[in-house]
Amino acid sequence: MIIGHKGTSAYAPENTLASIRKAVEMGVKCIEIDVQLTKDKEIVVIHDYTLNRTTNGKGWIKEKTLKEIKVYDAGSWFGKTFEDEKVPTLAEVVKILPKDVWLNIEIKSIARERGDIEARILAIVKAHDILDRVIISSFDHVSLLKFRTLDQDIKIGLLIYAYWINPWEMIELSGIKPYSIHPAIEYLDEAFVVEGKKRGYKVFPYTVNSIDEYHYAMQLGVDGVFSDYPDLAERNQ
């Protein structure tokens, strides 16, 4: 399985509804997005902590209201075709998600500014009845543990960017009880995949954008990869 990274960020502006729709059009069965809180506690879909890179606005997401953020163009930087594309909310993404497509929601949070984003995400997920096809991931493992305390059934993906000395003991002692492990592709090796699957975890490395890395990951027996190119395998046949 290829998981569409930020929708399909190679073909449409990342984390926009256009990117989500393009991923669905390309047959993607799992889409990854990034979320964070606005000043007025709305959940918006955007990767960076500022508007600077992916919109024509500037400033911190946490210092803007949803209404202020919605003024900005989140598509023209990618191409004129996407002019006036907006930063979407999580609810807007969920509303256009087909019933056979999974959603990986990555929480972007700064440790010293943790709020109640976990409870707010859970409320949206439950309100739209997609709990069974959602994975919650983050590099903030404290946030993931908070999510686990809120719901014992939701699938959690543990993001890691390192090769820990004893990752499995740390994971099991954490109390997070992850469904999947999401390691950086540069830290992935056969021993990691074998042990992870032996312990019952799905293994989804990121971000796999070259055919060599894709074949390498497949040979190791991973369950899927995050990629900006949902058609990665087909493009290189």
Selected catalytic residue, list 5, 128, 141, 215: 5
DSSP label of 207 = -
Selected catalytic residue, list 47, 128, 141, 182: 47
Cα 69 to the chain's mean position, in Å? Answer: 20
Q: Which residue has the tokens 């990951």?
A: 217
> Which tokens hold the place of 236?
């290189």
What are the backbone dihedrals phi and psi of residue 72, each rounded to the nearest 5 degrees, phi first? -80, 155
Contact criterion met (CB below 8 Å) for 37 and 47: no
Label the pairing between strands 30-37 and 43-45. antiparallel
Catalytic residue list contains 128: no
- Which of 6, 45, 44 is closest to 22 using CA atoms? 6
DSSP label of 178 = -
DSSP label of 88 = P
Interatomic CA distance for residues 66 and 40, integer angstroms: 7
Interatomic CA distance for residues 228 and 6, integer angstroms: 7
Catalytic residue list contains 141: no
Active-site residues, by number, are: 5, 47
